Amino acid sequence: MVDVPEYEKLKELRGFEYGREMLLHISNVLMEVFDKTQLFHTKEAEFLVLCTDVIYSAFLEHCARAKQMVGRQNKGLFRMGCTWSEGIFNARDLVKKARSIMECDDSWERSEVWLRPLVQENLTLEQDVMARLQTEGYPTIYLQPKIDMRDGHLMGAEALVRILDKDGKLLPHGRVIEEMEEDGTIHKVDYFVLDRLMSTMNHWQEKGYTMYPMSSNFSRNTLLNPSALASVLAIMSRYPLVSQDLIEIEITETAGDFENNTFEELIRRFEQYGLRFSLDDFGSGYSNMNMLAELKFHSVKLDRSLIKNITENSTSRMIVRDLVHICQSCNMICVAEGVENQNQVAVLLENGCVCGQGFYYDRPIPVEIFEEKYLKSPDMREVYR
């Protein structure tokens, strides 16, 4: 899928002829690179190409070539998205997925300031996030620990965005985050959390603390953006003291709405730089078992809906036991979310799950409190005795 966002505005500012020539150029490139009999002009400024009987590597090469050729004359003025399926496929579903991936491509919005009013480049990432959140508070991160339920030792933590007022009190932010997910600006928050987490870990390294794996949540839209890997590496380059294998990117199970091939390629590229992935909220609603079977994750987080009634519900216990066994067989860490009491801990341990996260151990807490409580304590087992 290829389109020209805000095409009408483009014609207003650069003229009808400019817009017409641009669409003609895109069409010619797609006909040259792909089979012209499978090219469709689906909207005024949108094109679709269906490729059949082509191997995945060749398909990616065609897409890269087309993007490079279109970009020679129209850099930053178009978006592209692609997805691929092996064997029998549903064309309607593939088109929907390719369009969704295309809509996550924000490379066009950064190069032409006249297309969309953007945050000034000299603003800090924090100021940028605040402009998006539109609140009088300021953003920060809280950390929620992941605990070895056998002895209470720290295994890692998850970083979560929080908004504080001038007095340090938490402000509501859930609705705004949902709106940012819908309008495609959630990547600003994702990158802010990662940057603040990396800065915090760099500070800990300088202090000589024992380092633990830390995870940062990334939305599906952020990960599917073609510039995601470059943005992550740019953030990491600012904190050379932090080993990249200590960073884990959490993605939700809803990522399974897309073809596994798409995410397999994405995970492979990130892992080349030492980054790890965690599958979050597994077991919430419809579970895509193919995703767990075919993609390699460093850890899998069981959704709190499975843990909530695990002490009374035998089916929940069986599901958890089987998922734990799958994780162990595939050398993946299994983390139970939403742990709230000792009875749940006992049942989880009986069924082989040793890592827990939830209010029973700690709510998300400020970095300073986390540091004092978990990194300065000589023996973490004293915390939960």
Per-residue model confidence as pLDDT tens digits over 235-278: 888 888 999 899 999 987 555 455 556 777 788 888 888 889 99
- How far apart, in whole angstroms, are the C-alpha atoms of residue 271 and residue 190? 19
Q: Which three-class secondary structure state does DSSP give residue 301? A: strand
Q: Name the DSSP class of 381.
A: G
Residue 284: both structure tokens together? 């919430």
Long-range Cβ pairs for the range 339-345 (8 Å, 24+): 339/149, 339/307, 340/307, 340/308, 343/311, 344/307, 344/310, 344/311, 345/149
- How far apart, in whole angstroms, are the C-alpha atoms of residue 13 and residue 61? 34
Q: What are phi and psi of 303, to 5 degrees?
A: -65, 150
> Using CB atoms within 10 A of its CB, is residue 29 exposed (0-12), middle (13-18) or buried (19+)?
buried
- How far apart, in whole angstroms, are the C-alpha atoms of residue 57 and residue 349? 44
Q: Which residue has the higher pLDDT, 242 or 180?
A: 242
Query: Could you please report the per-residue DSSP string of 72-106?
Result: HHHTTS-EE------SS--HHHHHHHHHHHHHT--
Give tens-digit pLDDT for 8-52.
888 877 788 888 899 999 999 999 998 777 899 999 999 999 988
What secondary structure, in 3-state letters, does 162-189 show? EEECCCCCEECCHHHHHHHHHHCCHHHH
pLDDT at 381 over 50: no
Q: Where are the alpha helices (DSSP H) in the chain?
A: 7-14, 16-33, 56-74, 91-103, 107-111, 125-133, 174-183, 186-207, 220-224, 228-236, 260-271, 289-294, 304-308, 314-329, 342-350, 367-370
pLDDT of residue 229: 85
Q: Tokens 């032409």 appear where?
A: 112
Q: Which among 207, 87, 200, 151 has a CA at the least distance from the CA of 354?
A: 151
- How far apart, in whole angstroms, are the C-alpha atoms of residue 379 and residue 102? 50
Cβ(364)–Cβ(144) below 8 Å: yes
Long-range Cβ pairs for the range 146-149 (8 Å, 24+): 146/335, 146/355, 146/356, 146/357, 147/355, 147/356, 147/357, 147/361, 147/384, 148/354, 148/355, 149/336, 149/339, 149/345, 149/348, 149/349, 149/353, 149/354, 149/355, 149/356
Give tens-digit pLDDT for 193-241.
999 999 999 999 999 999 999 999 998 878 887 778 888 888 888 888 9
pLDDT at 113 over 70: no
Kindly report the pTM of this predicted structure: 0.70
Q: What integer is the mean pLDDT of 117-133?
A: 52
Q: Which among 234, 242, 238, 235 has a CA at the least distance from the CA of 202?
A: 242
